[in-house]
Amino acid sequence: DYKGQKLAEQIFQGIILVSAVIGFIYGYITEQFGWTVYIVMAGFALSCLLTLPPWPMYRRNPLKWLPVQESGTEEKKTADRKPKRHSKS
C-alpha cells in the first residue's frame, strides 16, 4: 500500500540521516574517517533490515483491486478478425 511505502521511505531516510550525523560527529571527535564510514554503513544495514522485508506495519492499508473479468469476450474479438494480407510489391 502507498501509506506503507511512505512510512518505509521515511524510516529509511531518518535512519540514514541520523547515522550520518552521528558518524560524522564521532569521526570528527576521534579524527578517524573510517569510523564515520562504519557508522553510516551500520545505519544503512539497519534501515535495510527494517524497510525491505514486508513487515505487517507496512501492509495495514491494502489496495482494493478491480474484480477479474472473463476473458471470453477478448477471444471472440480476435477470432472475428480477418487475417491481414500483405500486398506484393
- Position 69 scores a pLDDT of 85
pTM for the full predicted model: 0.68
72 by Cβ neighbours in 10 Å (0-12 / 13-18 / 19+) ranks as exposed
**Banded pLDDT at 13 (limits 50, 70, 90):** very high
* Higher-scoring residue by pLDDT: 10, 69: 10
Domains of the chain by residue range? 2-57
pLDDT tens digits for 22-64? 999 999 999 999 999 999 999 999 999 999 999 898 889 888 8
CB-CB neighbours of 43 under 10 Å = 21
Burial class (CB in 10 A: 0-12, 13-18, 19+), 3: exposed
pLDDT of residue 63: 85
